Structure 1
Amino acid sequence: MAASKEDDYKDSFDAEFYLKTYYSSVKSVDGTTEFMLSHYHDIFQTGEITGKRLLDIGTGPAICYVIEQCLRFDQVYLSDFPESNRRALHQWLSNHNFHDYSPFFKHLAKKFSDERTWEDIRDEVAQKLSGILFCDVRSASPLKPSFFPQFDAVTSTFCLHAVPETLGEYRAIVRNVSSLLKPGGWMVEMGHLEETYYTVKDTRYNVLYMNKKDVCKIWTEEGFTIHNWKEYTPVSQERKTYTDWKSIFCMVAKKKNPSEK
């Protein structure tokens, strides 16, 4: 079944199936989960990306890619469009047994030289999560009806390229996301390159095909300086059964101050 960009994301996205299928273990057939967890750790451990308040856009139903952010910022806000994803996030906050993230907490605990246990990390994540918000990146006010002052940093994983149907729409989304970020603030986006679709259960979701040049050109023209770019291309082809992406990218960019433009 093909999914529309709005109705089927809102009504048919199966959050529980998604969690059980893709986030029951850190180990993945193509190594992507390990790469992303490790690279988020590398990005934030430098201490360059700092601040008090961070927004994650398009969190989905899983918290595994916001753990590092919660360990570095005082307040972390999650957001997504489908109600099913936001409900799954609320359910984990209310009951940590809703989904077992212990493999992810244990994986990251090994990267720290202090005496924090994986339970300490889990509890800190739960404490730092300050809100779970509705978000529509197609809107000029993505968090409406909520309103927040601009954030010190914004992260997004596998979201922004899944929404638009054209590069013009992606540019508009970048502009909308930028409005949520302070001048001088940091943007970290992880996404897929050269992807056209992915599937969850029996539903196929179409994705805008983009390459590195497309992504870098649009973010740069919308007032960002790209400080770091990294790609990961797995050897395994097993993912071909549910998606066709060629590589994962991670972009770290800084929003220019008005005087720099």
Structure 2
Amino acid sequence: MDFVSRKIYHVHGFDSRQHLEHYLSAKPDMVFEEDFLIFPIENLTKAFIPGHIKGDVLIDLSIGSFIHHLYSACEFFNHIIVLKVSDRCIMELKRWLDTRTGAFEWGHAAQLQVDLEGKSTQLQDKEGKVREAVQHVVKCNLKKENIMDPMVLPPADCIISVMLLDNICKDQDDYRRYLRKFSQLLKPGGHLILIGALDVTYYTVGEDKLHAFSYDEDFARKTLVGEGFVIDDCKVKKRTNVSDLTDYKAVIFIAVHREK
């Protein structure tokens, strides 16, 4: 199947709760814990600890209704602005932010974060900090050159994007084009952190099989450098789990900055 014949995240959407249950839940048989939960949290924590990635505004541009990647970021940024392409994902995320009944349970991710920080008794404080830091959850339009038009956002000190480029791009040119759009939201000298799946062609949510863009570490590195970024860190973890929900071969964490 090609890009046209499969569903596309930002065009067709998906069931955001099923997406979380498939890939990030605390259930015992959740085989993606090492790759999609532990790997991002550990590397984000290591990236932020030195203290050079910090500031006033962080923009999150990620797939679905993820929140786990913001547990470490909330300690280093005063304001987190979350941008989503789907109303359904916004509703799912706000259910957790507003502590509503039936919200997805993220306690296992928060516990992992506080354990890494050596603050295992401060679980509730950590969740409260994330809720306080996430001050806006806003819908964006990826079709526009300025994805926030007509809104004007404060320029970000850092952007984190988890799996979004993987799932909206049809080819290498698309990847570069969307990367430029995202970069417009970044301050000169700002930081960009990408977390993605390598050599993937599809992922499954419920009964739906969705398109994913297949690329490798070399392409990610060369593209970021070609767009004027300096690579600060890059980690790749090979897949070890077995599941037919998705066919990725590895996961990548890459942190870069743009020279002033």
Does TM, normalized by the shorter one, top 0.5?
yes
SS in 1 for 2:69: coil
Please say if 1:65 is aligned against 2:66: no
C-alpha displacement at 1:16, in angstroms? 1.6
Q: Which amino acid aligns with 1:20?
A: E
The count of corresponding residues between Structure 1 and Structure 2 is 252
Q: Is the 8 A contact 1:138 1:176 kept in 2?
A: no
Matching residue within 38, 43, 47 for 2:42:
38
* Sequence identity (%): 21
SS at match of 1:65: helix
> Which one-letter code corresponds to 2:74 in the other structure?
C
* Partners of 1:58 and 1:135 within 8 A in 2: no
Q: CA deviation at 1:68?
A: 1.1
Structure 1, unmatched stretches of 5+, are none
Answering whether residue 259 of structure 2 is matched by residue 256 of structure 1, we say yes
* Distance in 2 (alpha carbons) for counterparts of 1:23 and 1:40: 17
What root-mean-square deviation, in Å, do the aligned CA atoms of Structure 1 and Structure 2 show? Answer: 1.9
CA contact (8 A) 2:167 2:211 kept: yes
| Residue 190 (1) aligns with residue 191 (2) | no
**Equivalent position of 2:31 in the other structure:** 29
Query: Which letter does structure 1 place at the counterpart of 2:249?
Result: K
What code does the residue aligned with 1:246 have?
Answer: K
Contact 1:57 1:135 in 2 (8 A): no
Tell me how far apart the structure 1 counterparts of residues 121 and 56 of structure 2 sit (CA, whole Å): 21
TM-score by length of 1: 0.90
Indicate whether 1:54 and 2:55 are aligned.
Answer: no
Q: Deviations over 1:95-139 (max 9, x none)?
A: 255121111111111122357510010111111111001123443
Q: In structure 2, what is the Cα distance between the partners aligned to 1:143 and 1:26?
A: 36
1:203-222 correspondence to structure 2 within 5 Å: 203-222=208-227
Distance in 1 (CA, whole Å) between partners of 2:144 and 2:69 is 24
Q: Which residue of 2 aligns with 1:133?
A: 138
In structure 2, what is the Cα distance between the partners aligned to 1:243 and 1:115? 33
Identify if the C-alpha distance between structure 1 residues 26 and 185 changes in structure 2 by more than 3 Å, giving closer, same or farther: farther
**Partner SS state of residue 74, structure 1:** strand
